[in-house]
Amino acid sequence: MRYSQLFGKTSKTVSKDATVASHRLLLQAGFIRQLSAGRYTFLPLGLKVCRKIESIIRQEVEKTGAQELIVPTLHPLELWQQANRDKKFGAAMMRVTDRNGAEFTLGATAEVIMLDLVKQFAPSYKDLPINIYQFSQKFRDEARPSGGLLRVREFVMKDGYSFHVDEADLKITYQKYWDAYLEIAKRMDLNVTIVESDNGAIGGSVSHEFMVESTVGEDTIVTCSCGYAANLEKATFVKEDKNSSEAEADLSEVKAPRGNTMEDGVALHQKPLWQQIKDVVFVDDSGRFILAIIRGDFMVNETKLKNLIQANELRHATDEEIRNKLHSEPGFISPVGIKDVLIVADDSLKNLKNAYGGSNKKNIDLININFGRDYQTDIVGDIAETQVDYLCPQCKKEKLKLVKAVEFGNIFNIGFAYSDPMDGNFIAQDGTSQKMYMGSYGIGIGRALAIDVETHHDEKGIIWPKEIAPYQVHLIALDGLGEDLYQELLSQNIEVLFDDRSSVSAGAKFADADLIGIPIRLVISKRSQESGGIEFKLRSDKESKIIDSKNLVSEITSFYT
């Protein structure tokens, strides 16, 4: 490709909204342009990178036995409703109505559609496992798209789905995808950490994310040197036993002229924060009030809480709701005596003796509150959020670390989450009808591209890994030379971006080459020829060298093999 004819050129200016490196560099280098918030056009350079990423994914995923197909973008809404996924996705779903009044959703993911497709073939145990995938456009109405391609409203995803006779069979395919994703990341020169994660709107109980550490990441992963790794939404930790052997004292009520914070309670009662009960009131999407209670030195993890109570959305209750609906007092809420609320206790409270906290009355606290004796709970479970330096749940020796990261890909063991409500059955060997066990597997193409730029760039521009670079060689012609070399490289099936512009200075061409980031830069000029051939420079290196033209093709070929 001649740069003079390339649609989409480099730019010195960039939007002030481009606050992360990948967004800024992809705009400046001419890979993408924004259409509207969260929607991007991939220009020819950007699309070439996407196609190479897709090719890598296709090669590795098909090693799992997956077969490629594609389903429609518009999904009948009743299928989503049948599986209860419309409520799980909530406002993120984008809906349309056709001229006949039929409702559809723009595909956010395709579990329900793929299951409906497989059902049409009335599979038996002899047909399973079925392993299918597609590359297709996805639509999610993100509330706050950000980071360029890192969080968008429209994107291409490789989404795969597998159907099995049971979980044991699923685990075989699950491991194949695990291995495939590691190989895809390796070929893209990405270092991934595999973490346990929350299944979210996809459903099921087990999932893993392939995360890339990055300061611009919106996710937080929890890691330990022993190998433990989990998304913050899923991570656990050792909850130290503080005083379970202490004898229970009598419950008493005391005056408490204090403020509404946990710190105010500590200051007034001169007792440790861990002995105070933290009370947080939420309202879910059905209007149900939930009182989440936890040890005072812990934080409530809202994702864990949602999963435990099977809610789709949560919000904090207002002060007016706490007073008028629950007849309590903000800052003095207590599980003791409160009514008309679902009480969910963190398991850290079961062994906490003689706690203190509010009484549901202003400026009055309770002392010596004990689980089971003074209050009853509806649900007990882990709703605590992991913090840095908490003790690892796996080795129980090392302290945990919290790291910012970006999700590269994910794999889900979704079990019967769809086949149960949708009657996704197969005929078993004994002739009975059984539910198919499902898995799903995704990688967003645009985000993968952006993660690579976040990982591989310097102050001058992008440094593309060689397997996904838009071209193999960036040829810069000076002094009217270059046409013969360009044709020679093309004849050797080498992908070349040829900067043939005659009205642009050498310095500007070099700057553009650094910004675009193709792995090999060649410069042909009178000076290079006088020095013995062609200037050869790797984008990742500072120094260049002169290569005899007779050896140039072999030098390029050896770099790419």
Quick one: 432 and 328 in the same domain? Answer: no
Q: Provide the residue type at 302 as one letter.
A: E
Backbone Cα Rg of the chain? 29
Q: What is the pLDDT of residue 253?
A: 97
Q: What is the rounded average pLDDT for all residues in the chain?
A: 95
The stretch 417-437 carries a mean pLDDT of 97
Which pLDDT score, from 0 to 100, does residue 197 have? 86
Q: How far apart are CA 306 and CA 302, in angstroms?
A: 6
The string of pLDDT tens digits covering residues 352-400 is: 999 999 999 999 999 999 999 999 999 999 999 999 999 999 999 999 9
The predicted model gives 14-30 an average pLDDT of: 93
Please tell me the predicted confidence (pLDDT) of residue 15. Answer: 83
Q: What does the DSSP assignment read for 202-259?
A: G-SSEEEEEEEE-TT-SEEEEE-TTS-EEETTT--------STTSPPPPPEEEE----
Pairing of strands 103-106, 229-231: unpaired
- Give the model's confidence band at 203: pLDDT under 50 very low, under 70 low, under 90 confident, else very high: low
Tell how far CA 257 is from the center of its chain. 46
Dihedral sign, Cα of residue 121, residue 127, residue 129, residue 130: negative
Q: Give the position of tokens 């003095």.
A: 332
pLDDT at 91 over 90: no
Q: Tens of pLDDT along 478-517? A: 998 999 999 999 999 999 999 999 999 999 999 999 999 9
* Stretch 77-98: mean pLDDT: 89
C-alpha pair distances (Å), 304 with each of 92, 171, 221, 315, 376: 20, 25, 15, 14, 20
Say if residue 450 is in the same domain as residue 475. Answer: no
Percent of the chain clearing pLDDT 90 (strictly above)? 93
Q: What is the mean pLDDT of residues 406-434?
A: 96
Does residue 460 form part of some domain?
no
pLDDT at 205: 67
Residues 292 and 348 in one domain: yes
The answer as to whether 424 is a domain residue is: yes
Model confidence at 185, pLDDT cuts 50, 70, 90, reads very high
DSSP 90: G
Residue 391 inside a domain? The answer is: no
The per-residue pLDDT for range 509-542, each reduced to its tens digit, is: 999 999 999 999 999 999 999 999 999 999 999 9
Give me 541's structure tokens: 């290196």
- Which of 56, 122, 92 minimizes the C-alpha distance to 443? 56
How crowded is residue 438: how many other Cβ atoms within 10 Å of its Cβ? 26
Q: What is the spatial distance between Cα 166 and Cα 437, in angstroms, rounded to a whole number?
A: 5
Task: Look up residue 557 and give its two tokens.
Answer: 């070929």
Q: Specify the CATH number for the domain of residue 490.
A: 3.40.50.800
Q: State the average pLDDT over residues 63-78.
A: 97
Token pair for 134: 């597609």
Strand 229-231 versus strand 219-223 pairing type: antiparallel
CATH number of the CATH domain containing 374 = 3.90.960.10
The pLDDT assigned to 204 comes to 59
Q: Are residues 171 and 320 in the same domain?
A: no
Q: Can you tell me the distance from the alpha carbon of 383 to that of 304, in angstroms, rounded to the nearest whole number?
A: 5
Residue 40 belongs to what H/E stretch? strand 39-42
Contact of 101 with 212, CB cutoff 8 Å: no
Structural domain contains residue 395: no
Q: Residue type at 475?
A: L
Q: Residue 434 above 90 pLDDT?
A: yes
Residues 153 and 111 in one domain: yes
Question: What pLDDT is stored for residue 202 in this prediction?
Answer: 58
Domain of 487, in residue numbers: 471-559
Would 76 be classed as within a structural domain? no
Q: What is the pLDDT of residue 451?
A: 97
One domain, residues 26 and 124 = yes
Same domain, 185 and 276: no
Reply yes or no on whether the pLDDT at 72 is more than 90: yes
Residue 131 is which amino acid?
N
| Same domain for 187 and 295 | no
Does residue 95 belong to any structural domain of this protein?
no
DSSP per-residue codes, 334-393: -SSS--SSEEEEEGGGTT--SEEEE-SSTTEEEEEE-BTTTB--SEEE--BPP-TTPBPT
| CATH number of the domain enclosing 132 | 3.30.930.10
Same domain, 268 and 349: yes
Instruction: Compute the C-alpha angle 40/148/62, nearest 5°.
Output: 70
Q: How do 67-68 and 130-139 pair as beta strands?
A: parallel
* Residues 6 or more apart whose Cβ sits within 8 Å of residue 491: none
User: Is the separation of the CB atoms in 512 and 539 below 8 Å?
Assistant: no
Shared domain check, 268 and 374? yes
Ramachandran region, residue 227 (left: φ > 0; alpha: ψ -120 to 50; beta: rest): left
Reported as a pLDDT band with limits 50, 70 and 90, residue 38 is very high
Please write the tens of the pLDDT for every residue from 436-464: 999 999 999 999 999 999 999 999 999 99
Contacts of 67 (CB under 8 A, 6+ apart): 131, 132, 133
**pTM of the complete model beyond 0.85:** yes
Residue 387 lies in a domain: no
Tell me: do 448 and 475 sit in the same domain: no
| Residue 243 within a domain | no
Asked if residue 428 and residue 519 are part of one domain, the reply reads no
What is the arithmetic mean of pLDDT over 196-210?
A: 76
State the Cα angle at 425 between 423 and 430, rounded to 5°.
140
- Which of 427, 454, 481 represents a domain boundary (last residue)? 454
Count up the domains in the chain and report the number. Answer: 3
Residues 268-317 have pLDDT tens digits of 999 999 999 999 999 998 999 999 999 999 999 999 999 999 898 899 99
pLDDT in tens, 209-251: 999 999 999 899 999 999 999 999 999 999 999 999 999 999 9
The residue with tokens 């105010």 is 264
